[in-house]
Amino acid sequence: MQITIEQGDITTVEVDAIVNAANSSLLGGGGVDGAIHAAAGPRLLEACRALRRSTLPDGLGVGDAVVTPGFDLPADWVVHTVGPNRHQGETDPELLASCFRTSLGLAADAKSRTLAFPAVSAGVYGWDADEVARIAVDTVRAWDDENPAALDEVRFVLFSQDVREAFARTAEG
């Protein structure tokens, strides 16, 4: 699997699936979550509401993920995952690793060959970008070792230069 790191807008990348750093309600929010909901159009919110009415009445748990269509996005699929929030005492690195691992599995199950991640839990959820980068890159590499040829490419599409640099340092080291 090829791993690439770039600065950009995840809502515009040409991949089979993108990962949304969602909140547990799945009903949109700020940052990456709000941008994805805005770019995907109102059908994404309706799909998330349908999940809440059916299989996820209490919302999506931290470290878990679920897939919806991408609707108006270039990506066919959106994998929604809820990262741990350090400000709420969610400091276990395994919860963050689970976001990446579960998202990879669901993207592969959806027959995606290419997947783009944001920096899940960096930013408003209080995780240091270097720590997120280390956990993300290590988890992706370990998942690829266990699931060879399941995905062709994982792209980390990061909004800020600082976060992109943190991921670049990790991937090179």
Is 33 a residue of the active site?
yes
Q: Which residues in 139-158 are b (16+ Cβ under 10 Å) and which e?
A: bbeebbeeeeebbeebbbbb
Both ends of the chain: CA-CA distance in Å? 17
Q: Which residues in 78-103 are b (16+ Cβ under 10 Å) and which e?
A: bbbbbbbbbeeebeeeebbbbbbbbb
Catalytic residue among 9, 33, 138, 152: 33
Angle between helices 129-146 and 161-172 (to 10 degrees): 50
- Using only C-alpha atoms, the chain has a radius of gyration, in whole angstroms, of 15
Active site residues: 33
